[in-house]
Amino acid sequence: MAQAKPSRMARIRNLGIAAHIDAGKTTVSERILFYTGRIHKTGEVHDGQATMDWMVQEQERGITITAAVTTCPWKNHDIHLIDTPGHVDFTVEVERSLRVLDGAIAVFCAVSGVQPQSETVWRQASRYAVPRLIFVNKMDRVGADFIRVLDDISQKLHAKPVAIQWPIGAEAQYQGVIDLIHMEALYFGGEHGEETTKEPIPAHLQADAESARERMLETLGDIDDGIAEAFLAGEDISPEKICEVLRRGTLSNDIQPALCGSALKDKGVLPLLDAVLDFLPSPLDVPPVTGKNPKTGEKLSRAPSTKDPLCALAFKVAMDDGRRHVFIRIYSGSLEAGQAVINSTNNKKEKIARLFKVHAHKKERLDVARAGDLVMAAGLRFAKTGDTLCPTDQLIQLEEMEFLKPVIAIAVEPKTNKDLEKLGEALTKLADEDPTVEVREDENTGQTLLAGMGELHLEVLVDRLAREFNVGVKTGQPSVVYRETIREPTEAEETFERVIDEEKNERIYGRVKVALRPLQRNEGSSFDDQRTPTNKDEHPLGDRFFDAIQEGCMEALEAGPLDGYRVQDVAVTLLSIDTDPEHTTEVALRVAAGNAVRSGLKTGRPVLLTPLMSVEVSAPEEQAGSVVGDLSSRGARIEGVDSDESGQSMIRATAAMTSMFGYSTKMRSLTGGRGSFSMRFDRFDALE
């Protein structure tokens, strides 16, 4: 029995599929579900029938909006699969999925290669050190080029892709792949490519295959001395040895094995499934998670074992049939339906009412979930994305997740008095689900503002209000969310003094002097104590007073002096304080510190920061000039124009979000409907 638990976890793969929009990742997911027997008929994205795109909004638009979770069996293993969105407006779904996954498949289009959202998801995976496989999809498309895409990945993503396959043909002549590990050709037959035939390598591809295998072995020789010595000596290297080193290099993130295929044409997904088992980690291959005791600050770790105390992370909140459900990754221990736990992030007690194994939007009841599992729980009232669940007597808090702030907002108001009663609750639920959704009241107009990551994001949210929550709303024109900062260093000093009771001589007093300094863009804001030794001796600060001053300073950065937008990229330095032993309080110091920062912001030449977007437009070469001209007229800065063999031009630019409203209609008009574009948030910056 002692060996059964480790072997169970060794046969688990927590896997995500991520890519730029339209690279084909949902189609890859659909084929994986079919080949593993999880579904018995494949549905296509363009028909709105894909299993993992279960939301009405996804089916109508033919895109993935929410990360969908499922579990499927393959060769005595359990693959917990998350299909993530590719559209920039829903990047939060990728972020929180990668936070809890052990491995990922990065899907790239064989024609387009690395696209803007490809870079975003790759950076997210690198931030969490997630081992990856590369799958170059759409090898049947005109202009498909496996090696060009791998070169693109290497140059733009600073990655180290290692081709373990070689395509047999390309475009309309794409037939299958050559397995460079076993040096054999693989062809995919049957109604849905479920039958793999192994044949000798075609004679006209023998030289290419041998050359590609040599490059693979050279790369592996950098990881393993045994392979390097055998390769230089001209000795045979067994497939088992190659797989062992490939796995080791993948788990350490030194390399990324690269495969190719056409998911839509049912070619190449079966070897990809085998590669998931061979090269991506099980929960046992992942280092223990680390956190801290929220009360003492002591650093702690939890091993991927059912013997360690429970440690679980809530990574997604979802409304299912109107009820609140929370997706959980269990890192250690086990969790039972009915079990009481504590949310160590907010110190609130919770109870697991029910546990479910999930397949897209379908649920299967569970009695218990163990280390390595991804499950959904009902009954958690307070848990939000990034919260840690653990036993009350074994506290641990994992690192919380950070998310991008909304950049665009619309005014929403109810159509009827009946809608008024339901609107507030519905908006609260949407913000509870999605950390990149913000609901606030406009101080000037009193309107309710719904903020999100882009026009499509807001469009989907409003659609969900009507369909899921049965709330009719009227919306105003989108407005941009700005930021503020300062241009010049400045100093400010403020005193806060209030008489509480004259007769008893009760008053509160505090004086704070600060310096403000602008930082590099996107560097964030900081707080530092640089008082002189004399000031520190005369006015010592305990933890409570120091925390009060820091809180006052940072709270003041929440609303800038120009239009009340959040202030960023400012270093706040505490220069001196004045206290009275009898009358100084935390409140007095916090208010004085906040007022000092506000005064400094006004004198530091404040400036408004506009959200700038990274834009990439694909258009026929003959229309590229018109597209560039239109972007320039919108104030965009053209970063470059590249052409490929298929006659398409790729225009890269940076533009203010305000100038890009409604761009899709104009772009389609300029390109006769043959163009496409993607846009992602780049940074907040001042317009020259």
Q: Which of 66-70, 286-290, 566-570, 619-623 has the lowest mean pLDDT?
A: 66-70
Burial class of residue 647 in the structure, from the number of CB atoms within 10 Å of its CB (0-12 exposed, 13-18 middle, 19+ buried):
exposed
Report the DSSP beta bridge partners of residue 637: 654
Mean pLDDT of 35-60: 54
Residue 124 neighbours by CB distance under 10 Å: 20
Q: Among candidates 22, 436, 479, 61, which has minimal Cα distance to 263?
A: 22
* Residue 41 reports pLDDT greater than 90: no
DSSP state letter for 567: B
3-state secondary structure of 336: strand
pLDDT of residue 89: 58
**475 φ/ψ angles, rounded to the nearest 5 degrees:** -120, 150
DSSP state letter for 583: T
Using CA of residue 32, residue 35, residue 37, residue 41, what is the dihedral sign? positive
Residues 6+ apart with CB under 8 A from 289: 301, 302, 311, 331, 332, 398
Task: Give CA 388 to chain center in angstroms.
Answer: 18
Q: Looking up tokens 């387009």, which residue turns up?
A: 112
3-state secondary structure of 597: helix
* Residue 248 reports pLDDT greater than 70: yes
Task: Give CA 645 to chain center in angstroms.
Answer: 32
Q: Which DSSP string corresponds to 185-236?
A: EEEEESTTS-EEEEEPPPGGGHHHHHHHHHHHHHHHHTT-HHHHHHHHTT--
Q: Which of 166-175, 519-528, 539-548 has the lowest mean pLDDT?
A: 539-548
Q: How far apart are CA 186 and CA 178, in angstroms?
A: 6
Asked if 590 and 548 count as a contact pair (C-beta separation under 8 A), the reply is: yes
pLDDT of residue 670: 86
**627 φ/ψ angles, rounded to the nearest 5 degrees:** -65, -45
Mean pLDDT of 45-69: 48
Q: Looking up tokens 């800065």, which residue turns up?
A: 637
Following CA atoms 532, 534, 537, 540 in sequence, which dihedral angle do they give, to the nearest 10 degrees?
A: -40
DSSP state letter for 20: S
Q: What is the pLDDT of residues 639-657, one digit of tens each?
A: 988 876 667 788 889 998 8
Q: What is the pLDDT of residues 480-539, one digit of tens each?
A: 788 999 999 999 999 998 887 776 667 889 999 999 999 998 888 999 999 888 888 888
Q: What is the pLDDT of residues 215-233, one digit of tens each?
A: 999 999 999 999 999 989 8
Task: Give CA 410 to chain center in angstroms.
Answer: 24
* Residue 283 reports pLDDT greater than 90: yes
Identify residue 528 by its one-letter amino acid code: D
For residue 208, what pLDDT band results from cuts at 50, 70 and 90?
very high
Report the DSSP beta bridge partners of residue 498: 508
Report the DSSP beta bridge partners of residue 512: 494, 577
* Residue 288 reports pLDDT greater than 80: yes
| 134's tokens | 């590369």
pLDDT of residue 464: 84
pLDDT of residue 117: 73
Q: How far apart are CA 560 and CA 607, in angstroms?
A: 9
Mean pLDDT of 353-366: 82
Q: How far apart are CA 239 and CA 218, in angstroms?
A: 15
Q: How far apart are CA 257 and CA 141, in angstroms?
A: 22
